[in-house]
Amino acid sequence: MGRATIRDVARLAGVSPSTVSRVLNGKDAGHMRPETKERVLAAIKALDYTPAKAARTLRKKKTGVIAILLPDISNPFFSLLARGVAAVAFEHGLSTLICDSDNSEDKENRYWDLLRAEGVDGVVFVPVGRPDETKAHRLRRRGVDIVVADRRVEGYPTVEADNRTGSASLASHLLSLGYRRIAYLAGPPDVSSAMDRLEGFLEALRGAGVEPVAVLHGDFTYRSGYVLAHRLFSRRHDVEAIVAANDLMAIGALRAAEDLNISVPNQVGIAGFDHVLPADLVRPRLTTVAVPAYEIGEEAMRRLLRGDNSAERRVLPVKLIPGESTPPRGGDSSGEEARRNRPRDKS
């Protein structure tokens, strides 16, 4: 019933606990009689022995556990990122504790306390907003490495996507297709990736002498995309395209248009960011920018393993994915597709 201990194994093998420990830890390099080792191994198998991690942790002050603290595991972008982290961790014999802060800074802070008590060896952190750095700092001071993923936090190693460039290329793409009256549904102002996307977009637009017809801030959820687009459509009737800071918001906008009998892409074009699965499932297929979520997770975990604590930013490239939701429009585009009718619907 009660699990076997190292002493049980030692007794059965007729050796001392230290010897068993040495076998367990591969500290028998060369200088251990093969026969002794055999006996120990046999005893381990006979008793179905597994070393208690807690005891080992207590001695070594290493838990073999890393955590990933993120805002919402049911968001496909984050679950992909988490998979990337876990895969690399698993390869290196580390366990992954997934902590879902549920988009709440309060819960996030409670998780920091938990992680501290748990004694995790490292944390991949996707902050909810502008994080209360003190919590993270305290852990860090105790020698726990922290790598921030997908977003930026001052003074921390970061692995993120090239949001600025990607967003700029999306803007150029739309401009080249003939879109001019463009509204932007941004993410939360305190999230770096959201702001990078917004700024990259505006910069490219302004570089071409174009001003957005509106910039509204949401919170990256499907719901907020729907609400913002709905509001926008009821206020303005001249929008040619809506660009959202992520795919879920873009899909929300798509649904809002649908509910208002505004045809996409005939009357209005829509684009997103991330290239998560739903962006491909939706019709018209979303024009978006592919962000390598899984790879961001992998790279963040690798930095953790490397103990790379420099505040350096690692930026992964992104890729424009043209979809059917933004067909060519107006006069100056290449226009290989037949022009759709684009009557403007009043109200």
Partner DNA sequence: TTGAAAGCGCTAACAG
Partner DNA sequence: CTGTTAGCGCTTTCAA
Binding site for a copy of itself (CB under 8 A): 1, 3, 48, 50-55, 57-58, 63, 73-74, 76, 79-80, 82-83, 86-87, 90, 95-100, 102, 107, 113-114, 116-119, 138, 141-143, 222, 251, 255, 258, 277-278, 281-283
Residue 261's Cβ-count burial label (10 Å; 0-12, 13-18, 19+) is exposed
CA distance 334 to 321: 17
3-class secondary-structure state, position 244: strand
- Edge-to-edge order in the sheet of strand 269-271: 214-217, 182-186, 241-244, 269-271
Report what 48 binds from a copy of itself, DNA, none; CB cut-off 5-8 Å by kind: a copy of itself
Residue 114 partner contact from DNA, a copy of itself, none using kind-dependent CB cut-offs of 5 to 8 Å: a copy of itself
Query: Per CB under 7 A, does 33 bind DNA?
Result: yes
- Nearest by Cα to 244 from 286, 299, 307, 292: 286
Considering only CA atoms, which of 207, 209, 268, 277 is closest in space to residue 240?
Answer: 268
Strand partners, 25: none
Total residues at interface with DNA (CB under 7 A) = 33
Q: Does 51 bind DNA (CB under 7 A)?
A: yes
Q: Which is nearer to a copy of itself, 24 or 315 (CB)?
A: 24
Judged by CB under 7 A, the chain residues 60 through 79 that form the site for DNA are 60
Instruction: Report the DSSP pairing between strands 319-321 and 288-290.
Output: antiparallel
Sole window of 13-21, 151-159, 210-218, 299-307 interacting with DNA (rule: CB under 7 A) = 13-21
Distance CA 153, CA 81 (A): 18
Give the other-Cβ count within 10 Å of 64's Cβ.
15
The β-bridge partners of 122 are: 66, 145
Interface residue with DNA, options 1, 26, 30, 134 (CB under 7 A): 30
> Which of 54-62, 99-107, 163-171, 226-234 is the region at the interface with DNA (rule: CB under 7 A)?
54-62
Residue 36 contact among DNA, a copy of itself, none, beta carbon within 5 to 8 Å by kind: DNA
Does position 339 interact with DNA (CB under 7 A)? The reply is no
Q: Is the Cβ of residue 204 or residue 227 nearer to a copy of itself in the bound state?
A: 227
CB of 200 to DNA, least distance (A): 48
Residue 322 binds what, of a copy of itself, DNA, none (CB under 5 to 8 Å, by partner type)? none
Q: Is 170 in the site for DNA (CB under 7 A)?
A: no
Tokens of 199: 């700024």
Distance CA 214, CA 229 (A): 11
| Residue 309 is a binding residue for DNA (CB under 7 A) | no
Nearer to a copy of itself, 202 or 268 (CB): 268
Let me know how many helices (H) and strands (E) the chain has, helices first. Answer: 13, 12
Identify what 14 binds: DNA, a copy of itself, none; CB under 5 to 8 Å per kind.
DNA
Rounded to the nearest 10°, the torsion over CA 102, 229, 204, 294 is 30
| Least gap, CB of 278 to a copy of itself (angstroms) | 5
Of the pair 28, 324, the CB lying nearest a copy of itself is at 324
Task: Compare residues 84 and 157 and give the one whose CB is closer to a copy of itself.
Answer: 84
Q: Does 303 bind DNA (CB under 7 A)?
A: no
**Which one, of 328, 336, 323, lies nearest residue 290 by Cα?**
323
25 binding DNA? (CB under 7 A):
yes
Could you give the CA distance from residue 138 to residue 84 in angstroms, rounded to a whole number?
26
Q: How far apart are CA 292 and CA 333, in angstroms?
A: 29
Per rule CB under 7 A, is residue 32 in the interface with DNA?
A: yes
Q: Which residues bind to DNA, rule: CB under 7 A?
A: 2-3, 5-7, 14-22, 24-25, 27-28, 30-33, 35-37, 49, 51-52, 55-56, 58-60
